[in-house]
């Protein structure tokens, strides 16, 4: 599997002043703010995430001889401390790994699952769907966590270090503290009302009853102890031990403040659900684009199939020579069509007959691409096609609306000196997840089950995303790795953003591969997101530009979205250097680091 053996290397001390492009990272968890830079270039491996402490944790592991998988888990664990409203051991995610020795791509589906007692009416009350706000901050929304099992599976299959070793940087950050930035404070403020309804959450994230102050140090000793226990005992502490029992007790009787008046509906999670959980090793999706092989995650996520189908639709269009108006027009229309097919066909393949290969066939994409005209816009919602029986410009059946997905996931990308690459997106769903903290354990629980359809949009049409016992809700997570014709990595990308993840990854890939933008600029470019809706969402850079006017002249309609996604990526250069790239501005900017900087 291309598993480098354990190596003991001296840790090189580096300055905490990370000011120049390509600068290396200091050791994690100093308690002092580490300056973020959006791009770094060098040798020995690279890490890109939304947070400097987390990226530094991954670099620390790489410096000590760990491989990309070890560093990815270390980075993810650190994000569970510094980005607790986006990720953590109370959630799940999807892990895509490139093995340099075999030149193969592998994936882990670490998606949360519904309780084994859940039925299609999980979110129905008196025969009617619950309001989203009523469902989200409740035990009903909490799925069986998949993140700990993902970490253990990845380390067992491809890692070179023990879980306890790679958790050490995150444990240290949780114990010693990290510096609160404006984004952390703003995210806390946006959840303040929900957090105050749950005393354990309020005690942790509203210290002294107040919002955390920008520039102050935030500590989470409970999470430090939880990580230390996982390091000693392994993830069995969650799936078969006392940590798991605490999770079940919290879900089934949410510890809500009676004075808040909040009806925190009890969940249905059991110890049997935890014991039965497995992170699934599965084949990636694969499609060819511009002579490159694009790999991503297969269902239960819709990311790989939907990004792949959209790329196939765009394959026949020369986007490198198109005007910016025509480039965005075709990007928007390909996204619209791919989302139409996503809504009809993609769900958990353990429960649904998902035509993955057919959705990714060039023949099917060509049959859908002919719907796109240079001078006209499709009317949404576009009806789905039938990938099993492609018909030229064919569409039929009833369009399914795109369900809401929480946007505050997080993504990290890692490469090591052996050439292994990880693209990993993890989440607890929306910002703050369910808002329920496991007492004494220091982490929030997910609200991933709200990614299910609460009820069929049309009772006459089968909905592949209804709840079911042990079922995984459909996701849009799209961690992607692109290889050249020799099987070597070109670029790896991914993003948070709910359903906008798909369009963010698609736009980043086409910006990099077709428009020939540097990776950091492809990530920074102002975004559009069309998800088979009447209006396309635009960030201000597009909404306030002449491009919007030119696209409206074709027939497009738009709405303003202040921020779409927060991508990271790594790129392999021909001379063996790595480029790590992250956001320049979104989510307060990301953090790109390399082991040994070079020009």
Q: What positions carry a catalytic annotation?
A: 409
In 3D, which of 478, 509, 497, 502 has the Cα closest to residue 564? 497
Cβ contact 416:3 at 8 Å: no
Cβ contact 413:436 at 8 Å: no
What value, to the nearest 5°, has the Cα angle with vertex 541 and ends 539 and 542? 75
Cβ contact 591:36 at 8 Å: yes
**Cα 108 to Cα 366: distance, rounded to the nearest angstrom:** 30
Report the length, in residues, of the chain. Answer: 599
Coil/strand/helix, residue 347? coil
What's the maximum distance between 2 C-alpha atoms anywhere in the chain? 64
Give 437-452 as a DSSP string: BPTTT--BPP-GGGGS
Cβ contact 532:336 at 8 Å: yes
Coil/strand/helix, residue 273? helix
Coil/strand/helix, residue 248? helix
In 3D, which of 422, 519, 466, 392 has the Cα closest to residue 70? 422
Long-range contacts of range 531-534, CB-CB < 8 Å, 24 or more positions apart? 531/335, 531/336, 531/339, 531/402, 531/499, 531/500, 531/502, 531/503, 532/336, 532/337, 532/339, 532/340, 532/343, 532/380, 532/381, 532/382, 532/399, 532/401, 532/402, 533/380, 533/381, 533/401, 533/402, 534/380
Strands 104-110 and 480-483: unpaired
What are the C-alpha distances in Å from 165 to residues 6, 20, 113, 168, 587? 11, 30, 28, 6, 29
Strands 536-538 and 558-560: parallel
Structure tokens given for 594: 């390399």
DSSP code of 456?
-
**Cα 18 to Cα 35: distance, rounded to the nearest angstrom:** 5
Structure tokens given for 577: 């250097």
**Tokens 């400097």 belong to residue:** 52
In 3D, which of 45, 12, 17, 67 has the Cα closest to residue 598? 45
């Amino acid at each position: 599997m291309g598993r480098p053996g354990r190596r003991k290397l001296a840790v090189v001390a580096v300055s905490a002043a990370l000011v120049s492009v390509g600068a290396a990272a200091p050791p994690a968890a100093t308690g002092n703010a580490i300056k973020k830079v959006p791009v770094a270039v060098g040798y020995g491996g690279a890490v890109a995430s939304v947070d400097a402490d987390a990226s530094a944790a991954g670099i620390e592991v790489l410096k000590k001889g760990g491989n990309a998988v070890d560093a990815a888990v270390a980075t993810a664990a650190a994000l569970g401390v510094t980005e607790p409203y986006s990720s953590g051991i109370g959630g799940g995610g999807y892990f895509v790994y490139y093995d340099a020795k075999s030149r193969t791509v592998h994936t882990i589906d670490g998606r949360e699952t519904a309780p084994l007692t859940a039925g299609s009416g999980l979110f129905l009350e008196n025969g009617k769907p619950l309001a989203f706000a009523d469902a989200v901050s409740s035990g009903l929304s909490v799925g069986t966590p998949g993140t700990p099992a993902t970490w253990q599976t990845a380390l067992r299959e491809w890692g070179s270090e023990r879980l306890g070793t790679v958790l050490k940087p995150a444990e240290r950050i949780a114990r010693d503290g990290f510096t609160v930035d404006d984004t952390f404070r703003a995210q806390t403020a946006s959840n303040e009302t929900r957090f105050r309804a749950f005393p354990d959450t309020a005690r942790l994230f509203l210290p002294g009853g107040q919002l955390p102050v920008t520039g102050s140090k935030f500590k989470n000793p409970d999470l430090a102890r939880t990580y230390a226990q996982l390091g000693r005992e392994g993830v069995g502490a969650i799936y078969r031990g006392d940590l798991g029992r605490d999770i079940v007790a919290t879900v089934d009787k949410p510890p809500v403040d009676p004075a808040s008046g909040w009806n925190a509906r009890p969940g249905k999670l059991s110890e049997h659900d935890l014991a039965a959980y497995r992170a699934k090793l599965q084949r990636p999706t694969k499609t060819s684009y511009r002579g490159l092989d694009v790999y991503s995650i297969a269902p239960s996520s819709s990311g790989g199939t939907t990004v792949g189908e959209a790329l196939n639709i765009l394959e026949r269009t020369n986007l490198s020579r198109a005007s910016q108006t025509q480039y965005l027009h075709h990007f928007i229309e390909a996204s619209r069509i791919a989302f139409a097919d996503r809504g009809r066909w993609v769900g958990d393949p353990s429960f649904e007959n998902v035509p993955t290969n057919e959705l990714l066939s060039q023949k099917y994409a060509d049959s859908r691409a002919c719907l796109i005209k240079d001078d006209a816009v499709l009317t949404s919602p576009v009806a789905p096609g039938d990938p099993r029986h492609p018909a030229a410009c064919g569409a039929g059946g009833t369009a399914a609306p795109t369900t809401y997905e929480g946007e505050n996931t997080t993504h990290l990308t890692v490469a090591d000196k052996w050439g292994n690459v990880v693209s990993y997106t993890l989440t607890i769903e929306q910002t703050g997840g369910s808002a329920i903290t496991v007492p004494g354990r220091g982490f929030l629980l997910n609200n991933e089950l709200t990614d299910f359809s609460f009820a069929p949009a049309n009772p006459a049409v089968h909905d592949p995303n209804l709840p079911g016992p042990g079922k995984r809700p459909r996701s849009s997570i799209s961690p992607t790795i692109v290889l050249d014709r020799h099987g070597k990595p070109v670029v790896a990308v991914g993003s948070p953003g709910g359903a906008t993840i798909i369009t963010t990854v698609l736009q980043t890939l086409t910006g990099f591969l077709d428009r020939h933008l540097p990776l950091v600029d492809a990530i920074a470019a102002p975004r559009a997101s069309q998800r088979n809706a009447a209006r396309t969402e635009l960030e201000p850079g597009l909404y306030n530009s002449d491009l919007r006017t030119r696209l409206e002249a074709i027939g497009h309609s738009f709405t303003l979205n202040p921020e779409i996604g927060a991508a990271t990526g790594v790129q392999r250069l021909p001379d063996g250097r790595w480029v790590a790239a992250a956001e320049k501005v979104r989510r307060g900017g990301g953090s790109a680091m390399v082991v040994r900087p070079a020009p």
